[in-house]
Structure 1
Amino acid sequence: MKTIKSMMNHLYWADGRILDALEKSATKNKDLLKLVRHVAVAEIVWLSRLLGKGTEHYALWEEAEDLTAVRTMFEENAEQYRVYIEGLKESELDEMIDYSNQSGVQFRTSVRDILLQVILHGQYHRGQINRALRIDSAEPAQVDYITFARL
């Protein structure tokens, strides 16, 4: 549980760092804005599944007009995940969750694997965003776990 909590704390930190880099770059790249919004919405979707709520009303790939709304989503996600994880017992990590994906296909996955999906999914897309920032001659965000762990 300690590792998952630490990795989730890294996720909250890294979400903020990538938003800071996007804001600093002043990018108008709609694909990057869509991608960072996708990460925020995916976090909401997975938490909803963990809580036994439906997710069909969430659109994973809508355009984002600006980063303010996305930052608000990330901040709300962090708070809701903190509450969820604080109430989670080690023994509950291997409980199975039944849910439907956005296409209505049924799945059954452990709480542990869902949390790892959230952690790894965000890191994957932050890497994509950083690469695009570098190509656009903007400064990418340092979001490596080790950088966070050294704080």
Structure 2
Amino acid sequence: MNLIPLLHHMAWADDAARRQLADMPVGSAERARAERIYAHLVAAEHVWFSRLTGVAARHGVWPEIDPDEAAALSTDTVAALVTWVESRSPDELERPIVYRNSAGTVFENRAIDVVLHLAMHGAYHRGQLALLARSSGADPASTDFIAWLRGAPAPMHE
């Protein structure tokens, strides 16, 4: 399974979600909630990447960071994740990783499943962000995988 398109979509969709925040009314409850969810979305990507690599995470899964910090974290994490996945053989991606969740419980999952989880986790939260944008009067961003494949708003893949 080629995970790279999912990761490029993740970068594109995270950026679209960030841009969507700017269209929401400043000071609104919806924007405040959306900024918190966006920070969680990208921090979770960072935490899961840390679990994959065994390197300590710099942020928890619900950090107090602003959208610009979150955007930088997303860019750095997804780029590192692409490099990491590209450097792994299919057999390596099938190997389990052992990690502790935020409650300290130990789990074991295949690396490929962690990467797939990241794609699905992001889609879930980007849906929440679209709902918040709509309820604030802003237009929700189109962040669907198929929209990315079709080149909306601009192709980010080859």
Q: TM-score, normalised by structure 1?
A: 0.91
Deviation at 1:120, TM superposition (A): 0.4
Map of 1:1-151 to 2, 5 A cutoff?
A: 1-2=1-2, 4-28=3-27, 29-55=31-57, 58-64=59-65, 66-151=66-151
Cα distance in 2 for residues equivalent to 1:88 and 1:62: 30
On the 8 A contact 1:38/1:60 being kept in 2, the answer is yes
Identical counterparts, % of pairs:
28
Alpha carbons of structure 1 residues 128 and 27: separation in structure 2 relative to 1, 3 Å: farther
On the 8 A contact 1:33/1:63 being kept in 2, the answer is no
1:134 counterpart letter in structure 2:
R
1:71 counterpart letter in structure 2:
A
Cα distance in 1 for residues equivalent to 2:69 and 2:55: 22
- 1:52-92, Cα deviation, whole Å (9 max, x unpaired): 2344x63222333x311111111111221121112111111
Cα distance in 2 for residues equivalent to 1:63 and 1:39: 12
Q: After alignment, is 78-87 or 14-23 more displaced?
A: 78-87
Structure 1: which 4+ aligned runs deviate by more than 4 Å? Answer: none
On the 8 A contact 2:16/2:141 being kept in 1, the answer is yes
1:62 counterpart letter in structure 2:
P
Query: Alignment partner of 1:78: what SS?
Result: helix
Cα distance in 2 for residues equivalent to 1:77 and 1:26: 28
Cα distance in 2 for residues equivalent to 1:27 and 1:116: 34
Q: CA RMSD in A?
A: 1.4
- 1:9-68, Cα deviation, whole Å (9 max, x unpaired): 11111001111111232544322111100011100110011002344x63222333x311
Unpaired runs of 5+ residues, structure 2, are 152-158
How many residue pairs get matched?
A: 148
- 1:75-123, Cα deviation, whole Å (9 max, x unpaired): 1112211211121111112100000001110000000110011110011
Cα distance in 2 for residues equivalent to 1:32 and 1:75: 19
